[in-house]
Amino acid sequence: MATLLHIDTSFAGEKSHSRAVTAAFRASWEAENPGGTVIYRDLATDPVPHLEAAAYYAGNTDPADHSPEQRAAFALRGRLIEEAERADVILLGAPMYNYAIPSTLKAWIDHVIAGGRTSRTEHRSLAGKRTVVVTSRGGSYREGTPMHGHDYVEGYLRYVLGSDLGLDVTFITPELTLAPVVPAMADLVPLFEASRAESLATAESLAKELTVQLAA
């Protein structure tokens, strides 16, 4: 049966727009895969620690040569990598915080990138895995907008997840999420509502599409 790895990172709880879209994807996924498995991590409420030296260098060392300290330090990295390897589809919530990804997501990525296994090897263990990233943001960074060129979320994730880890990444981007709460953005509320509706619909349809692809 199919397995979904679902990771949320927003600290906004029920007010989170990225969580709303990942929840829509997951609900559609579970409806299409009633006997499937969901591995869930909420990195906002249960963050993984930042990568430290012992765990980092253990990832570049033959496990047979690990010291006791390295074995203990690499245990978490091993679990996180195995969760990603087990998944048929990875779903990531990645809201924009200060123009970049949440530090909790960066910590998860640092653990999962392992030379010789998931990265920097001809046979990367995650290569080709379908991945859906929900990159919500308060404004718009599209070409032609004043903030174009200052989105450091999608470019970074497209490189590290796609080019480095070899994942097959699709982005869903609900934008202008601050419009309902910032008076100066009141005129943009209809655009926000359209973006949110489109993102929710895309999440639901993409979950169904991926189910069909996996079953083929």
Mean pLDDT to the nearest integer, 47-75: 85
Whether the pLDDT of residue 39 is over 90: the answer is yes
Higher-confidence residue: 68 or 123? 123
Mean pLDDT to the nearest integer, 22-30: 98
pLDDT at 63: 80
Condensed to tens digits (0 to 9), the pLDDT of residues 179-215 reads 999 999 999 999 999 999 999 999 999 999 999 999 8
Condensed to tens digits (0 to 9), the pLDDT of residues 125-159 reads 999 999 999 999 999 999 999 999 999 999 999 99
Higher-confidence residue: 37 or 58? 37
Phi, psi for residue 168 in degrees, rounded to 5: -95, 100
- Terminal CA-CA length for the chain: 13
pLDDT at 58: 80
79, 171, 169: which is closest to 127 by C-alpha? Answer: 169
pLDDT at 135: 97
Distance between CA atoms of residues 123 and 94, nearest Å: 27
pLDDT at 72: 81
Whether the pLDDT of residue 177 is over 90: the answer is yes
In sequence order, what DSSP letters do the residues of 156-192 get, joined into one string? HHIIIIIIIT--EEEEE----TTTTT-GGGGGGHHHH
Whether the pLDDT of residue 60 is over 80: the answer is no
pTM, to two decimals: 0.95
Distance between CA atoms of residues 110 and 105, nearest Å: 9
Whether the pLDDT of residue 176 is over 80: the answer is yes
Distance between CA atoms of residues 36 and 27, nearest Å: 12
- pLDDT-derived band at 81, boundaries 50, 70, 90: very high
Condensed to tens digits (0 to 9), the pLDDT of residues 87-133 reads 999 999 999 999 999 999 999 999 999 988 999 999 999 999 999 99
| 64 Cβ contact list (under 8 Å, min separation 6) | none
Higher-confidence residue: 147 or 66? 147
Distances (CA, A) of 79 to 34, 67, 176, 201: 25, 18, 36, 32
Tokens 């620690």 sit at which residue? 49
Condensed to tens digits (0 to 9), the pLDDT of residues 6-17 reads 999 999 999 999
Helix (H) or strand (E) holding 83: helix 68-86
pLDDT at 118: 95
